[in-house]
Amino acid sequence: MLTLEGKVAIITGAGSGMGRSMAQIFSAQGAKIVAADWNQESLEGIVAELRDAGRDVVGVQGDVSKREDCERIVASAVDAYGRLDVLCNNAGVMDLNQGVAELEDEMWNRVMGINVYGPMCLTRAAVPEMIKGGGGSIVNSGSVAGQGGAAAGAAYTVSKHALKGLTRSTAYIYAHDGIRCNLIAIGAVETNIMQSVDPTKMDPKASERLQKWYGMIPWQLKPEDIAHVALFLASDEAKGINGAVLATDAGWTSA
Q: What is the pLDDT of residues 195-204, one digit of tens each?
A: 666 777 888 8
Mean pLDDT (whole number) for 107-113: 98
Supply the pLDDT for residue 196.
63
Mean pLDDT (whole number) for 7-32: 98
Q: Which domains does the chain have, with CATH numbers?
A: 8-248 (3.40.50.720)
- Whether 156 sits among the annotated catalytic residues: the reply is yes
Percent above pLDDT 90 for the chain: 89
Alpha carbon of 96 to those of 85, 152, 168, 250: distances in Å? 35, 8, 27, 24
**174 or 193, which is more confident?**
174
Mean pLDDT (whole number) for 56-83: 98
Q: How many CA atoms lie within 13 A of 199 on its CB side?
A: 4
In DSSP terms, 60 is beta-bridged to 36
Mean pLDDT (whole number) for 199-215: 86
Catalytic residue among 156, 172, 174, 214: 156
From 153, 70, 150, 73, select the one nearest 114 (Cα to Cα): 70
